[in-house]
Structure 1
Amino acid sequence: MYTMIEVSVIIPIRNEAENIDALAKELTSVFMRTPWTWECLWVDDGSTDASLSILQEICRNDSRHRYLSFQRNAGQSAALWAGFREARGEIFATIDGDGQNDPADLPILIQMVASGETDMANGYRAKRQDTLMRRLSSRIANGFRNLMTGKTVRDVGCSTRAFQRDCVEYLPRFAGMHRFLPTLVAMQGGRLAEAPVNHRPRLHGQSKYGLRNRLWVGLADTFGVLWLRKRAFSYEVAYRSETD
């Protein structure tokens, strides 16, 4: 049985060898200045570059960093799902592994959750550092998701988040889940809040997402989540038998 800690930061990565070490040092520096016990759980989604060996070295040198490595690429949703199952924290936080999300934003979001203000605190990228095509496809996908499944947060695609562990205990398991986390949490009665976060240009490597796997797949997945939302049920227990 493992010992629970206060915060788990979960970072899915795939072929981010040039970004991992700098991001790990940055995150460690940020969390060393916080009052929480913490860990950083890296989930390697079948990388074919030197990502795994870099993670192994980081984790050997600092036990607060841990990793999982998939035998083959399974997708970002699978990586997050595995991270949720492996993490030991009472509060989860997520960022991407490409260095575009700023770890310095996480303590603000975590505190919003820890204070009881909300169940999930979502970042929104006020000044996105992406290509015009990525910004446009993201805006279309965000708008369509909110139109079809009900408005939840303004930037569903922002990976900078913090949330209570039980927000993701019973999420449906499907490829594309990561694009709908706020919607799925809201469907379970979770309270959502937002805060602006920093977004930085990618310094190394290439994005794993393009028009095909970001826009069209996301739009198709929306119809599945719409079905889940329409078929969702809720209940309140009025009475129950007493137990010894």
Structure 2
Amino acid sequence: MLQNRGLPREFTIVIPALNEEQVIGDLLRRIDAALAGRSFDIIVVDDGSDDGTAAQVLAGPSHWRVIQHDVRAGQSAAIHTGVVAARSELIVTLDADGQNPPEEIPKLLAAWSENKGKVELGLVAGQRIKRQDRRAKLWASRAANFIRGAALKDGTRDTGCGLKVFPREVFLSLPYFDHMHRFLPALVVRSGLVVVHVDVAHAARQGGVSKYTNLQRALVGVVDLVGVMWLIRRKKTTHARELQKAPAKLSNVQ
């Protein structure tokens, strides 16, 4: 079982990766440059790659960590593995393909710091603007986000953005299931916590290939959406307090 041993950091960056040998090294160097002077770990969770993704991470500095799944388990499982292994209580996520510019991470961390004392904050979620994807993927994503938003009413227009900041404790308290990463805003709202949205840039893929097709996303999305709707409807909110016993009376027996 993985354990989060070691000295605490300000935050841990968790990156799920599958066959991203061409881009992962450059992405991690850009993260280091964007966050120079801050204390953090990077955990790349290699989800059963058959290329040199893990080797690229192992060749880097000591705060670049890699955890490897023996079989492919999916993006949500990879994020969960990284969060469990994290050495800090604050988690940052982004995708490994380079389409989430790491230069946007300070913007999300600033939003976290600005809002955490004002509301019961559970998640800062990036929302992509000026997306650099193929037209078919954009249409499919917009349709899926519209349907999901209408059904779940979580106030999020783009759940597919990998850039997110959240407490480790909050994530591990959420119901875990495959593809849960696409429903984090709704699950956080279900827990009674606040989601803050931040507009972020988006970049074209510089190497490798997408791991999903529009059809695959649609097929699993319908089943998952129904499941999350059920979870929200079955949620019961209650407030509990421990009752205190009255102080014991002293005896006057002589």
* RMSD across aligned positions (CA): 1.4
**Alignment equivalent of 1:4, drawn from 8, 26, 31:** 8
Structure 2 equivalent of residue 40 of structure 1 = 42
Distance 1:192 1:55, change over 3 A: same
1:52 deviates by 1.7
| Residue of structure 1 equivalent to 2:25 | 21
- Structure 2 unpaired stretches of 5+: 246-254
The aligned counterpart of 1:152 is 155
Of residues 181, 185, 191, the one that matches 2:184 is 181
Q: CA deviation at 1:96?
A: 0.2
Question: Could you tell me the percent identity over the aligned residues?
Answer: 33
* Alpha-carbon contact 1:113-1:121 (below 8 Å) kept: yes
Q: Equivalent residue of 1:18, what SS?
A: coil
| CA distance, structure 1, for counterparts of residue 146 and residue 180 of structure 2 | 17
Which letter does structure 1 place at the counterpart of 2:202? H
TM value normalised by structure 2: 0.89
Q: 1:69, CA displacement in angstroms? A: 0.4
**Residue 111 (str. 1) matches residue 110 (str. 2):** yes
The aligned residue for residue 91 of structure 2 is 92
Separation in 1 of the partners of 2:110 and 2:148?
A: 28
Matching residue of 2:201: 198
Q: In the aligned structure 2, how far is the partner of 1:52 from the partner of 1:103?
A: 19
Determine the structure 1 residue equivalent to 2:174: 171
2:217 is equivalent to residue 214 of structure 1: yes
SS of 1:100's equivalent in the other structure is coil
Secondary structure of the 1:180 match is helix
Give the drift of 1:188: 0.6
The alpha carbon displacement at 1:3 in A equals 2.4
5 Å matches for 1:104-143? 104-115=103-114, 116=116, 117=118, 118-143=121-146
1:4 Cα deviation (Å)?
2.0
Q: Which amino acid aligns with 2:79?
A: L
Q: Give, in whole Å, the separation in 2 of the partners of 1:71 and 1:141.
A: 31
Deviation readout 1:54-83 (Å, 9 max, x if unpaired):
12212xxx1111110000111001001111
Shift in Å, 1:120: 1.2
Map Cα deviations across residues 147-193 of structure 1 (whole Å, 9 max, x no partner): 11223311111111111222202111211111101111111112111
Equivalent position of 1:82 in the other structure: 81
8 Å Cα contact 1:144/1:219 also seen in 2 = no
Q: Which has the larger radius of gyration?
A: 2
Distance 1:50 1:23 in 2: 15
TM-score by length of 1: 0.92
Q: Secondary structure at the match of 1:5?
A: coil
Q: AA paired with 1:231? A: R
Deviation at 1:113, TM superposition (A): 1.5
In the alignment, structure 1 segments of 5+ residues that lack a partner are: none
Q: Tell me how far apart the structure 1 counterparts of residues 144 and 244 of structure 2 sit (CA, whole Å).
A: 47
How many residue pairs get aligned? The number is 237
